[in-house]
Structure 1
Amino acid sequence: MHPSFIDETPKHDPQPDIVTVDSTEVYSNRWMTVREDKIRRRDGTAGLYGYVDKPDFVMILPYDGGLVHLVQQFRYPIRSRQWEFPQGSWDNRPDADTEELARGELKEETGLTAASLVRIGTIYPLYGTVTQRCHVYFATDLTAGDSRLEHEEQDLIGQAVSVDELQRMILDGDLQDSGTIAAFALARLRKLL
């Protein structure tokens, strides 16, 4: 017999867990802002919190004929080429409609156009240090075309693999992008793959 569920959700308390006392912009460029905030915790103690403020982005899981489409590019912070699902944001339009953004990024990085594009979830890839959310889309009924890579993506390549091969890549560590792994899990949980 399963133990009964005990609701341990904190009851509404008007006192916030953390209050921002002061916020300083430490660094900023067209892609991100680094902030350092002085905070006060619930018990009154002071603290410091540093984080990166970035606009939301989209990730697209393109699926067609039993294959998923991946892209690979050099990821400078870890000095390594990595496989992942197509993803991105528009720094000149940070508030763009996420479906429009997903269609644009899919076309830009793979040349593919999707007749069907369904949002399957939203995740926070690094919410301990980054404000950014990822909106995950499942793309099907794909039509091939020419990609329109940005200058920063000139090293990007693409490859279609089977779902079994994608799973092997994840388990063997050949694909380590947390967003791609989460998107794959969302698609599996929704029984799309």
Structure 2
Amino acid sequence: MSANPGPAEGPISRTNGRHPFTTLSTSDVYVGNVLALRSDEVAMPGGGRSRREVVEHPGAVAVVALDEWDRVVLVHQYRYPLGRRLWELPAGLLDVRGESPRHTAQRELAEEVGLAARDWSVLVDVAASPGFTDQAERVYLARGLSEVARPEPVADEEADLVVDRVPLDRAIESVFAGEIVNAPAVSGLLAARAVRDGHVRPRSGDAEWADRPTRFAARSEG
């Protein structure tokens, strides 16, 4: 029996795929307030062409705000496409021009739940469904919490927002029970437990984000 090789060092190995998938033509199908749908003709391996429909998204951030009693801040919010309320992390779109993702996370934490944090780090970057959208979220870990003034929500789903603090282990149980299904919440909570238990170290709060969406934001800038 061979010996256990132990943990691998360095990044996961890459394959030898080299085709550039050049965009031959592009056209807009729909452009809305928070997304756009475009249709691209793409050069495929072997000389063929294929049509790719892409949903452009501004990107978003979410925050695992963990207090000194190991409780995580969750919000219960109605999500119209699913037709029900979901337990999620405080989160928001990257829809302010020139604002860094970390600053967006700080602003959303204050606006949604009335909190600030002393320490910020990056837990995970999540590509929601890369087969058809560039939507991606960055999930932060926020520690050293303190209360700040929270603007009174007056419109849309946020006017019906419920905020609670849940022990992190209970939140993890809710993930595996299918009670928490929001993708940034699922990945962020699992990552936060891995950090808390000393299995991994989070990245800097200003770490590079290679897959941050830019196409939708560029529309308003052009």
- TM normalised by structure 2 equals 0.77
State the Cα distance separating 1:190 from its structure 2 match.
2.6
Contact 2:175 2:186 in 1 (8 A): yes
Q: How far apart, CA to CA, are the structure 2 residues paired with 1:114 and 1:12?
A: 43
Alignment partner of 1:77 is 2:64: no
Aligned residue number for residue 175 of structure 1:
180
Q: How far apart, CA to CA, are the structure 1 residues paired with 2:168 and 2:126?
A: 21
Aligned residue number for residue 188 of structure 1:
193
CA change 1:110–1:46 in 2 (3 A) is same
State the Cα distance separating 1:90 from its structure 2 match.
4.2
Partner secondary structure for residue 77 of structure 1 = coil
Q: What amino acid sits opposite 2:76 in the alignment?
A: Q
* Aligned length in residues: 189
Contact 1:58 1:87 in 2 (8 A): yes
State the Cα distance separating 1:40 from its structure 2 match.
2.0
Q: How far apart, CA to CA, are the structure 1 residues paired with 2:28 and 2:22?
A: 17
What percentage of aligned pairs have identical amino acids? 24
Note the alpha carbon deviations across 1:107-156, whole angstroms, 9 max, x for none: 11111111222222322122122212211111111112343236222121
Note the alpha carbon deviations across 1:43-65, whole angstroms, 9 max, x for none: 12221111211112111000002
Alignment partner of 1:26 is 2:29: yes
Note the alpha carbon deviations across 1:81-120, whole angstroms, 9 max, x for none: 10011111243x1542111101001011111111222222
Contact 1:55 1:94 in 2 (8 A): no
Partner secondary structure for residue 134 of structure 1 = strand
Contact 1:56 1:94 in 2 (8 A): no
Aligned residue number for residue 47 of structure 2:
44
Runs of 4+ in 1 over 6 A off after TM superposition: none
State the Cα distance separating 1:164 from its structure 2 match.
2.0
Aligned residue number for residue 54 of structure 1:
57
Partner secondary structure for residue 30 of structure 2 = strand
Contact 1:82 1:175 in 2 (8 A): yes
CA change 1:105–1:174 in 2 (3 A) is same
Contact 1:88 1:105 in 2 (8 A): yes
- TM normalised by structure 1 equals 0.87
Gaps in structure 2 of 5+ consecutive residues: 199-222
Partner secondary structure for residue 190 of structure 1 = helix
Aligned residue number for residue 130 of structure 1:
133
Q: How far apart, CA to CA, are the structure 2 residues paired with 1:168 and 1:89?
A: 27
Partner secondary structure for residue 172 of structure 2 = helix
Alignment partner of 1:104 is 2:93: no
Gaps in structure 1 of 5+ consecutive residues: none
Contact 2:117 2:145 in 1 (8 A): yes
CA change 1:12–1:87 in 2 (3 A) is same
